[in-house]
Structure formats: structure tokens, C-alpha cells
Amino acid sequence: MSASRRSLFPVAMTALVLLFLYIPILVLILYSFNDGRFSVRWDHASLKWYRRLLHERAIWHALRNSLLIAVTATLTSTVLGTTAALALHRYRSRLQKVHYGLVYAPLVVPDILAGMSLLLLFVACGVQLGMSTIYLAHVSFCVSYVTMVVLARLQDFDVSVIEAANDLGANTWQATRYVLLPLLLPGIVAGGLLAFTLSLDDFVITFFVSGPGSTTLPLYIYSMIRHGNPPLINALSTLLIAVTFLAVWGSQRLLAKQRKDG
């Protein structure tokens, strides 16, 4: 195939799209090092806003809440999602058809509907809004994501390994515990990581079901955007972006290493 038959248009569009995706982020990072009181006028480089950030106790409290909810919601939704995926993969009954619909539906419902309906349920049942309601809400949307990730892994799975284990005398429990789960672990971990990041980043659903004293990091950032100090948000955002990039870089390194070893 000759190069002359390829158009340059898609390449140019891709470059523009990538530029479009990154420019706001780069501008934000740049401004976070700006000393000026009005973040948009550049004065000179400084780490002032980062130092100020360290002394903002409410941020650390919000971060603690976010992590607490993310860890507990991830653990619960990983267990629920894995059992759901095993059931969906193993059985072909009418019950599983309904089950699949039930797991799939939350993925297509906009956040605002999920948040509002949970709020109405909690209010109708007289449940006090707070950390526990946020936890319940987060598990509810994470389960579907974990299930889909684990299910995808199961569909690539070689069933003959389980049959071999059974032939060698393992009962169902042993085959599941010592053969299936270890082989499934990468899928379970991937699902759990997805749940963790979704929980950590969720704003809309949390906004509806949070109560006094349960401010999470996204809720805090939102109130800062509405009423707060822009340079401080720039600094906090830059730190969050740095964490994301480090996580991506780290996981890529790990993957590359695994590929080399395997």
C-alpha cells in the first residue's frame, strides 16, 4: 500500500484532538505555579499555593472521607461484582437473564437520576444522610462496572482448566478457590481499581446523598469552584493530575514488566 493513497487529514485531526484534550490541563498546571492573586494574570513562578494547600485542614478531612468510602465501597463491590460475574458466566437460566439486565441497567442511567432516586429512597426510609449513605450509593454503581470487567475476563477463560482440576479430584469449591480465582485475579484487580477510581472521582451521586460532615474531595473541590480561591484549586488539581499520571505510568511499567516475565 502506497503512502500517497493515505490522506493527511485524519492525522491532522488527531493532532488537533489531542491538543484540544491537553491544552486546558496544561494551562491549569501552569497557573498553579503563578504567584499572582488573580490566577489568570501571570506574575511570577511560586510554590505559594502549594504551601497554603498544606495548611488547609478541610482538604485533608475531605481526602480522608473520600479514601475511606473508596476503600470500603471497592471491597464490597469487588465481592458482589465477582460473585455476579461467576453466576452470569456459569448459569444460563432465566434468572441470569434478569440478573444481567439488573447489572447492566445502572451503567446507562445518568448519574443525576441515580443520585436523586437514592436520595428519595433514603429520605422515604428516614435514613440519616452521611458517610454510610455515600458508601451504599457508591457500591450500587461500582458493582456493575466490576461485574462487566470480571465477566470479560471470564469469557476469555479456558474452561478446560477447571475440567482438568475436576478430573484430578478437586471438588467445585477447591477448583474455584485454587484454580479459577487465582487465574481470575487480574480481572478482579482491574475491576477493583476501576471501582476505586470511580468512587474517588464521583461527584453527582455523592452530592445528592451526602450529609453534614461527610464532605468528600470532589464535593470540596466543587464548593471551591463555586465560592473559593481559584489558585488554590489550581494547585490541588495539579497535585491530583500528578497522582493520575504517576498511577498510569506505574501501571504501564508493571504491565510491561509482566509481559517481559511472562
Which window, 55-63, 102-110, 157-165, 178-186, contacts other proteins (CB under 8 A)?
102-110
Shortest spacing between CB 168 and other proteins, in angstroms:
20
Among residues 61, 63, 75, 99, the one that binds other proteins under rule CB under 8 A: 99
Count, residues in the chain = 262
Backbone phi, psi, residue 42, to 5°:
-75, 125
Among residues 50, 130, 174, 222, the one that binds other proteins under rule CB under 8 A: 222
Q: Interface with other proteins includes 116 (CB under 8 A)?
A: yes
Which window, 23-31, 44-52, 53-61, 181-189, contacts other proteins (CB under 8 A)?
23-31
Q: Interface with other proteins includes 128 (CB under 8 A)?
A: no
Which window, 1-9, 46-54, 157-165, 180-188, contacts other proteins (CB under 8 A)?
1-9
Binding residues for other proteins restricted to 156-175, rule: CB under 8 A: 172
| Burial bucket for residue 69 (CB in 10 Å: 0-12, 13-18, 19+) | buried
Q: Interface with other proteins includes 11 (CB under 8 A)?
A: yes
Which window, 18-26, 47-55, 56-64, 178-186, contacts other proteins (CB under 8 A)?
18-26
Of 156 and 261, the one with the shorter C-beta distance to other proteins is 156
Cβ-defined contacts of 226-233 (< 8 Å, 24+): 230/39, 230/40, 231/31, 231/32, 231/34, 231/36, 231/37, 231/39, 231/49, 232/49, 232/52, 232/53, 232/56
Backbone phi, psi, residue 126, to 5°:
70, 30
Q: Interface with other proteins includes 258 (CB under 8 A)?
A: no
CA distances 100 to 10, 81, 85, 94, Å, are 38, 12, 9, 10
Which window, 55-63, 157-165, 180-188, 226-234, contacts other proteins (CB under 8 A)?
226-234
Binding residues for other proteins restricted to 45-74, rule: CB under 8 A: none
Of 22 and 178, the one with the shorter C-beta distance to other proteins is 22
CA distances 185 to 5, 103, 192, 250, Å, are 45, 21, 10, 19
Q: Interface with other proteins includes 230 (CB under 8 A)?
A: yes
Which window, 49-57, 84-92, 160-168, 177-185, contacts other proteins (CB under 8 A)?
84-92
Among residues 188, 192, 208, 216, the one that binds other proteins under rule CB under 8 A: 208
CB within 8 Å of 196: residues ≥ 6 apart: 70, 71, 74
Binding residues for other proteins restricted to 29-48, rule: CB under 8 A: 31, 38-41
Tell me the C-alpha distance between 106 and 202, whole Å: 14
- Which DSSP letter does residue 45 get? B
Q: Interface with other proteins includes 130 (CB under 8 A)?
A: no
Radius of gyration of the chain (CA): 23
Q: Interface with other proteins includes 142 (CB under 8 A)?
A: no
Least Cα distance to 231 among 24, 30, 4 occurs for 30
